[in-house]
Amino acid sequence: MRNRSRAVALIEILALAAVIGVLAAVAIPNFLEAQARSDISRVRADMRVLGAAVEAYRLDWVVPPYGEYVYSGCPGWHLSKGVPRYSLSALRRLTTPTAYVQSIPRDAFGGGLKWKASPYTNHYYPYNSVTCAYSPQFATLSAKGYAWHIASYGPSGKSLSTQSALAGLTSSAVYDPTNGTLSLGLLIRTNKGEYPEKGG
């Protein structure tokens, strides 16, 4: 009788472990999905705030803060001489001497896997000004009416070309939640709003 009760107890424990395993298998992916959706909402809100600050800066200075790559002959180049031309140094112009924004938020997705160890980005949003930039792709973007763009590498954390996405060369580089919450793609904001633009 005692052995039989031990056997029943063991079967009950195994059944309970199986139920817990099934619940965990269902709950963990749902938790990760909810966390990714929350991070995406946060990134979009951050980029809205940064975008408004860049536009305010642009109203005062005529051009947006220069980003990573500009020709040394650009008007206003003296503003960035001697400063590393990375996204963060451009975005810092939004905090001083005039505070267009109180602080520069960090990308919830870590600034992309490519930049995890970079001391320059420190997990901030990749930003670039299209004005007076070095690449022919930037001329294409300027002709389309883009003046600047901010990006997040999104839930996948993979580094993709924002310029190629905006130029229409790689539409798959733009994040689309219908492909799955954790899918590949950039979240992008430009002077025209969130990309792709509504009705665009």
Nearest to 43 by CA among 102, 148, 124, 136: 124
Indicate whether 168 belongs to any domain: yes
pLDDT digits (tens, 9 = 90+) for 23-79: 888 877 777 788 888 899 999 999 999 999 999 998 998 888 875 555 555 554 444
Provide the residue count of the chain.
200
Residue 135 pLDDT class (50, 70, 90 cuts): low
pLDDT digits (tens, 9 = 90+) for 123-132: 778 888 876 6
Which range has the worst mean pLDDT, 40-49, 155-164, 183-192? 155-164
Q: What mean pLDDT, rounded, does the chain reach?
A: 76
Indicate whether 54 belongs to any domain: yes
**Residue 125 DSSP one-character state:** P
The total domain count for the chain is: 1
For residues 103 and 84, the model is more confident at: 103
Indicate whether 200 belongs to any domain: no
Compute the average pLDDT of residues 91-99.
Answer: 85
Indicate whether 165 belongs to any domain: yes
Indicate whether 102 belongs to any domain: yes
Q: Which helix (H) or strand (E) holds 145?
A: none
14 φ, ψ to 5°?
Answer: -65, -40
**% residues pLDDT > 70 (the chain):** 72
The per-residue b/e assignment along 98-128, b for 16 or more CB within 10 angstroms, e otherwise, is eebbeebbebbbebbeebeeeeebeebbbbb
Which domain, by its residues, includes 180? Answer: 2-195
